[in-house]
Structure 1
Amino acid sequence: MRAWLAVIIGLALGGGLAWWLAQEHEHPAGQRRPDSPRPGAQVDASPALYRWRDDAGVLQITERPPKDRRYERIDRDTPAGIRVSGDGVDTQE
């Protein structure tokens, strides 16, 4: 009987701890949560990569767009499934 009581108390304490940790707690004035952005910092809702070609014609993929070239913006959050895209070169004969 005591083992069941210990199990029930353990489950109640574990559930209470999980509930407590899931709550949003107020922070003292002037402090912010470590995972929150700095005030005034702009957060990109959808981070992207940029695809472009350099002077030698080599394909480059960077996190920042080039200043003096054409580029294509690529979303990092791709939809589920397979998506194939290429340079537009037809390899079929």
Structure 2
Amino acid sequence: MRAAWAILAGLALGGGLAWWLGRDASPERSPEAHQRAERAAAAQAEDALRPLYRWRDAAGNLQITDAPPGSGPYERIAREPESGIRIEAGR
């Protein structure tokens, strides 16, 4: 009797494993999921390319924000570093 239960459990486990490994979880199967993935990737890429702005407020404190100040001088900072190595002896 024990052998019958072991065989049945093994078949059930094997069938479940075969189903899990054989299922198709690719985004092409669902066009909506594929579109959501594309929009998320585009939003993430756009967010990564937004610059930062460095400026000093009226009290002389250094501010770094994602929007430029309303008035006054500021410096735009790219979030992505330039490729290669740059050496500046003056610093």
Choose between structure 1 and 2: higher helix proportion.
2
Q: Which structure has the larger Rg?
A: 2
- TM-score, L = length of structure 1: 0.48
